[in-house]
Amino acid sequence: MSALLPVLSTRITSVAEAVFGTPYDPELRPSTKPQFGHYQTNLALRIGNALGKPPREVAARLVEALQLDDLCEPPSIAGPGFINLTLLPQTLAKAVNEPETFSSNGQRVVVDYSQPNVAKQMHVGHLRSTVIGDALCNVLTFAGYDVIRQNHVGDWGTQYGMMIEQLLAEGLAAESLDLEGLQHLYERSRKHFDADGNFADQARLRVVVLQSGDPETRAIWQHMVDVSLDEFDKVYALLGTGLQRTDVVGESAYNDDLPQVVKELDEQGLLTESDGALCAFLPGFQGRDGSPLPVIVRKSDGGFGYSATDLAAVRHRVNTLHADRIVYVVDHRQALHFDMIFTLARTAGWLDVPAEHVSFGTVLGPNGKPFKTREGGTVKLVELLDSAVKRAEAVDRAETARAVGIGAVKYADLSSDRGNDYVFDLDRMVAMTGNTGPYLQYAHARLTRLLSKAEASTEVTVLADPAEQRLALLLTGFKATVEQVADTLQPHRLCTYLYDVASALSVFYEQCPVLSSEGATRASRIALCTATRKVLQDGLGLLGIEAPDAM
């Protein structure tokens, strides 16, 4: 069956055009109270305001002309002119029995997310990019996109020149260092770089040597990459993300394209030399003091920074991967950077498809400040996830603790508007009540247990109780919610929807006995439970959260 909202909207729009000459969008919204039906529109108020007519008079004319008897009870008018629509039980039943499905939309989307840095352990700051990016990839795939995941690992640039130079100065063998050892090496090299101008110059030259392909330098660098990726894979496995080693396309992958980036920008007259560096100065981008802000494409020492790499990545994603849409899941601090990169790429003629920066806020500790260890350092992601699993063991059986703990962390991240900061509170995250991952997982497990005691039934036929109707109505909104998330790239909208479904399910349990009911009512309620279980399972899966059958 066609989606209820589009069908209702189309019919109301046609009537508005026939009666008043303009195809107004009814902007149907779910009613806030049962006495106002299932949907409500303020269309009459908007038309009345535009034409200078009394809204209730406009509403009466619209209601008189509407032909909705095959879908709804007779429309009613409330207040100053709101039109209320109540769907027929058989309309709801059919919509639940024949849920809409997605087909390919022929669009390819490249999603850039996670982006840890080589030689550093993943920390809580990488949690949001990985969890949000993974959920968006799942949703976009489900919605019919051909999704290409890209893990733009930081493996190129000044810090690797510093580390290699420090390693050589200390006479260390690269093979002797694991990821923790590499991180300590980075910390030493950073201090050395900041304190010693000669070392800093040598480190910068080492970057140029690295980018030029020197065998010894490349071999040391490759060991750093291999050790790091092995550790990243362990974190991804624990987190249950869809990222694979084949999705890793680090900054280094674009090295050979960087001279061409410079050449083409220079030929178009987009580069200016500034203190030996080649920069693009774009109209409208200024610092706080009013001075022009540059995009530094090639540094004064001949090396390339991440702006050049990002420009090369844009070219690759458009020309080679043939993206119809590009999504970057990177924290809000990079907003200006991406605005400038996208503007320069469009000016150069390299970017002719939508490119979206999916920004997100900061993970905060209980004190409301950025989440840190007691010593003030960054929190390692693997340790944080292990803590979540251990905390879940206190509230659930051991065999599902991993699913519950990891799911709790993911849901807490995804359920808040990604633009906001949020407080990392494990006790709240693993709670079995409220808008939490475990609450939704338990709703799924409870349905699984109930359905294991019932005969199979897939046909909803009786929706006499308002609690049944409310649950059925919510189930019909799953496809529209997924479409909305695919369009807006805001996964919290799916979380809110699933929480509404689980809450309606709880009311349904209280008011509508399932196994103790009889005949057609029992069969219909079992079918409604089956449909609800599928929506919860599919929805949690899109968020990257397991749906255990028992808790």
In this predicted structure, the answer to whether residue 338 has a pLDDT above a threshold of 50 is yes
Model confidence pLDDT, tens digit, residues 213-241: 999 999 999 999 999 999 999 999 999 99
Judge whether residue 407 has pLDDT over 90: yes
pLDDT computed for residue 303 by the predictor? 81
- How far is it, in rounded angstroms, from Cα 161 to Cα 156? 9
Note the pLDDT of residue 378. 76
Statement: residue 1 has pLDDT above 60: no
pLDDT of the residue at 393: 87
Strand partners for 87: 72
Under DSSP, is residue 83 helix (H, G, I), strand (E, B) or coil? Answer: strand
Average pLDDT, stretch 429-437? 94
The token pair that represents 5 in the structure block: 């909202």
Give how far Cα 75 sits from Cα of 54, 58, 60, 86, 462, Å: 18, 14, 10, 7, 22
- What is the pLDDT averaged over residues 115-134? 93
pLDDT at 548: 94
**Crossing angle of the two packed helices 306-319 and 335-347, in degrees rounded to 10:** 50
Find, among 97, 95, 101, the residue nearest to 142 by Cα. 101
Q: Report helix, strand or coil for 128.
A: helix
Q: How many residues does the chain have?
A: 551
Phi and psi torsions of 330, nearest 5°: -140, 145
Asked whether the predicted pLDDT for residue 131 surpasses 80, the reply is yes
176, amino acid identity: S
Residue recorded with tokens 């110059």: 201
Q: What is the pLDDT of residues 506-530, one digit of tens each?
A: 999 999 999 999 999 999 999 999 9
Look at residue 2 and tell me whether its pLDDT is greater than 60.
no
Specify the residue for token string 């919290």.
492
At residue 77, what is the residue type? I
Confidence (pTM): 0.93
Would strands 272-274 and 82-85 be described as parallel, antiparallel, or unpaired? unpaired
pLDDT at 6 over 90: no
Contacts by 9-16, CB closer than 8 A, 24 or more apart: 11/66, 11/67, 11/68, 12/41, 12/43, 12/62, 12/66, 15/62, 15/65, 15/66, 15/67, 16/43, 16/47, 16/62
Phi, psi of 397 (to 5 degrees): -65, 150
Pairing of strands 363-364, 422-423: parallel
Q: Tell me the percentage of the chain whose pLDDT exceeds 70.
A: 99
What pLDDT sits at residue 523? 97
Taking the C-alpha atoms of residue 543 and residue 551, their distance in angstroms, rounded to an integer, is: 19
Predicted local confidence at residue 361, as pLDDT:
93
Please tell me the predicted confidence (pLDDT) of residue 211: 84
Contacts of 541 (CB under 8 A, 6+ apart): 138, 547
Q: Check residues 541 and 393 and name the one with the higher pLDDT.
A: 541
pLDDT the model gives residue 526? 98
469 three-state secondary structure? helix
Out of 162-171, 423-432, 483-492, which region has the weakest mean confidence (pLDDT)?
A: 423-432
- Model confidence band, residue 19 (pLDDT cutoffs 50, 70, 90): very high
Mean pLDDT throughout 407-430? 93
pLDDT of 244 above 70:
yes
Q: What is the pLDDT of residue 374?
A: 64
Rounded mean pLDDT, 311-328: 98
Q: What is the pLDDT, as a whole number, of residue 376?
A: 64
pLDDT at 3 over 80: no
- Spatial distance between the Cα atoms of 239 and 242, rounded to a whole number of angstroms: 9
Q: Give the number of other CB atoms < 10 A from CB of residue 532.
A: 24
Cα–Cα nearest to 145, from 111, 112, 107: 107
Q: How far apart are CA 224 and CA 218, in angstroms?
A: 10
Q: Is the pLDDT of residue 266 over 70?
A: yes
Please name every residue paired with 78 in a beta bridge, in sequence order, or none if there are none: 82
Partners of 273 in beta bridges:
278
What is the average per-residue pLDDT within 138-149? Answer: 98
Q: What number is the average pLDDT over the span 322-345?
A: 97
| Cβ–Cβ under 8 Å, residues 265 and 279 | no
